[in-house]
C-alpha cells in the first residue's frame, strides 16, 4: 500500500517550523511521510539539516520537500539573470535534499508562484525559457538521484502547467528520467475534465501525489470523488507516496499565501487538528484497500 503523509503546514501559520516536532507528531498519528517546505533548507546549518534527517530515519518517517519558487527565482523569466539565480537556488535545494537523504522535490519548479496574469503568446515563450532552465536542473536531479516533480496547478496560481496533459508534454520534451509530475486533487478539481483521465494521462510519469478537498480541508470533509481518484491511482499501479496538503487556518504567511481568509477548522485546538488529520488518514487508507 502507498505510504501516506501530511504537509507540516496543516498546523502552522509560517513556513518555518520545528520540523523535528512534526516528525514526532506524524509518527504518533500513524503517518508514513512528512512533507517539509524546501525553502527553509538553505538557511539551516548542515548540522541542523542532519538532525532533522536523523530524527526522521529514527522515527521511520520519509521526508519529502515542496516549494513554489518565489518570483525572484522565476525559471521562466524574461530576465536571464533571474533565471540564472533560480537555477542556482534550486541547485542549492537539491544539494540540501541530497545531504538529508531525500529523493523527492516537488512544487512549482518550472517558473514561480504565484505566476501572474499573462497572454497566451507570453506563456508559449515562457515555456521555452522554462525548458531551457530545466535542462540544466534535470542533470543535477539525475546526479543527485532526486525526483524533480513538476506540480500541475490551477490557472489562478500559475499559467504554465495547468493540466496533466500539459505536464506530460513538457516532461517528455525534457526526456530526463528524474523529471516527474506532481498531481494535486485540489488543482485537478478546477482544471481537469476527469480525475481518472488525468491520472491515467500522467501514468508512469506520476512521481508524487497531493490530496485535499475542493475547499482545502482534509480528505473526507468535502465533495471530492475519492473513489474515482483511487481507481485512477490503482489503474496505473501508482506505488508512490500520497501526501495530504490541507490548509484550514487563517493568519500568518501561510494563510496569506494560500489565501485562507476564514477559519475552516471550526476554531479547532491543536488536539482537534490532530484528530482531523488522524481521521483523514483512516479515511484515505480505507479507500486505498
Q: Which residues are catalytic?
A: 151, 245
DSSP of 13-24: SSS---HHHHHH
Chain Cα centroid distance, residue 3: 15
Contact indicator for 34, 26 with CB cutoff of 8 Å = yes
Question: CA–CA separation, 83 vs 129, rounded Å?
Answer: 9
Q: What's the distance, Cα to Cα, between the start and end of the chain in Å?
A: 8
26, 105, 111, 117 from 75: Cα distances, Å: 33, 16, 5, 16
Helix, strand or coil, per DSSP, at residue 286: helix
Under 8 Å between Cβ of 208 and 106: yes
Are 112 and 68 a contacting pair, CB within 8 Å?
yes
- Contact status, residue 73 vs residue 93, Cβ threshold 8 Å: no
SS3 content of the chain, % helix, strand, coil (to 5): 50, 15, 35
Nearest-angstrom CA–CA distance, 30 and 147: 25
Q: What is the DSSP letter of 283?
A: H
DSSP label of 190 = H
DSSP-derived secondary structure letter, 163: S
Amino acid at each position: 500500500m502507498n505510504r501516506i503523509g501530511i504537509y507540516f503546514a496543516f498546523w502552522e501559520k509560517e513556513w518555518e517550523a520545528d520540523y523535528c516536532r512534526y516528525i514526532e507528531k506524524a509518527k504518533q498519528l500513524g503517518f508514513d511521510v512528512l512533507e517539509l517546505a524546501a525553502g527553509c533548507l538553505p538557511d539551516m546549518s548542515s548540522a541542523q539539516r542532519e538532525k532533522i534527517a536523523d530524527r526522521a530515519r529514527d522515527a521511520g518517517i520519509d521526508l519529502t520537500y515542496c516549494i513554489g519558487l518565489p518570483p525572484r527565482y522565476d525559471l521562466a523569466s524574461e530576465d536571464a539573470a533571474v533565471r540564472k539565480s533560480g537555477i542556482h537556488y534550486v541547485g542549492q535545494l537539491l544539494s540540501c535534499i541530497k545531504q538529508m537523504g531525500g529523493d523527492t522535490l516537488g512544487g512549482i519548479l518550472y517558473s514561480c508562484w504565484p505566476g501572474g496574469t499573462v497572454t497566451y503568446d507570453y506563456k508559449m515563450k515562457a515555456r521555452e525559457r522554462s525548458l531551457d532552465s530545466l535542462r540544466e536542473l534535470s542533470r543535477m536531479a539525475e546526479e543527485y538521484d532526486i525526483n524533480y516533480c513538476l506540480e500541475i496547478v490551477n490557472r489562478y496560481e500559475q499559467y504554465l502547467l495547468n493540466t496533466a496533459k500539459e505536464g506530460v508534454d513538457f516532461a517528455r520534451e525534457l526526456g530526463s528520467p528524474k523529471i516527474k509530475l506532481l498531481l494535486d486533487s485540489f488543482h485537478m478539481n478546477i482544471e481537469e475534465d476527469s480525475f481518472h483521465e488525468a491520472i491515467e494521462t500522467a501514468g508512469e510519469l506520476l512521481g508524487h501525489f497531493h490530496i485535499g478537498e475542493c475547499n482545502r480541508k482534509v480528505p473526507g470533509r468535502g465533495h471530492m470523488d475519492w473513489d474515482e481518484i483511487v481507481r485512477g491511482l490503482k489503474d496505473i499501479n501508482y506505488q508512490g507516496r500520497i501526501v495530504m496538503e490541507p490548509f484550514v487556518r487563517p493568519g500568518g504567511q501561510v494563510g496569506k499565501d494560500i489565501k485562507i481568509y476564514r477559519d475552516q477548522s471550526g476554531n479547532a485546538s491543536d488536539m482537534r487538528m490532530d484528530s482531523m488529520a488522524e481521521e483523514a488518514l483512516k479515511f484515505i487508507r480505507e479507500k486505498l484497500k
